[in-house]
Each structure stands twice: as C-alpha cells, then as structure tokens.
C-alpha cells in the first residue's frame, strides 16, 4: 500500500515510524492498514508512537492502546489519527505519563 520496498517498511518499523505485528501461519510481519493513508503513513502516528515508547509501552501495549475505543475521542486513537485529530491523541498519550 505504501508503494515502497519491503526493506524500507522494515526500516520504518525499526526507526519507530511504524509499528508491526507478526501474524498468520508463517508469522509474517504486518502493519495494520489503519496506519496507512493512501500511500503514506498516517499523519501523527510516528509522534504518538514516540510518546508511548517514552511511557515504556511495549509494541503490544501500543497496539492495544491505539485500537481500544476511547469514548472521550470518540472512537479509537488509531481512528482519530486517520481523521486528522492527532493533537487530541497525543494529548492523551502524554497524559499517560503523569
């Protein structure tokens, strides 16, 4: 979907710009489709991932947080990011550190 080489996607995951999970029979590394907007990474995702890492979240915890409904948003943080409401998502991620 990003129209880039698999090695570049792996580099984005390694850099923390994207997050991926291993799924399926052969445990292939997969990036959730919600993190892709057209042919680019959803705006605000990288910054949000950085904030969550700074709060000592594991990759699994970050994915769970991003896809857990938050009635105050409304919707999930991942959904809010895709709707260009990244400021609100980042505020909530920063509040987790308190």
1 lies in a domain? no
Which pLDDT band, with edges at 50, 70 and 90, does 1 fall under? low
Mean pLDDT estimate for the chain = 90
30 lies in a domain? yes
16 lies in a domain? yes
85 lies in a domain? yes
89 lies in a domain? yes
CA atoms within 13 A on the CB side of 53: 13
| Structural domain boundaries, residue 27 | 6-95
Q: How many helices (H) and strands (E) does the chain have?
A: 5, 4
33 lies in a domain? yes
| pLDDT digits 0-9 by tens, 13-46 | 899 899 988 888 888 888 898 999 888 899 999 9
The count of domains in the chain is 1
- Measured distance CA(35)–CA(42) in Å, rounded: 5
């Amino acid at each position: 979907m990003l129209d880039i080489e698999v090695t570049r996607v792996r580099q984005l995951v390694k850099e923390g710009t994207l997050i991926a999970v291993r799924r399926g029979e052969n445990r292939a590394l997969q990036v959730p489709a919600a993190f892709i907007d057209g042919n680019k990474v959803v705006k605000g995702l990288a910054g949000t991932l950085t904030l969550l890492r700074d709060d000592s979240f594991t990759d699994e915890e970050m994915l769970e947080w991003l896809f857990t409904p938050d009635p105050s948003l409304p919707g999930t943080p991942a959904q809010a990011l895709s709707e260009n409401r990244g400021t609100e998502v980042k505020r909530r991620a920063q509040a987790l550190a308190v």
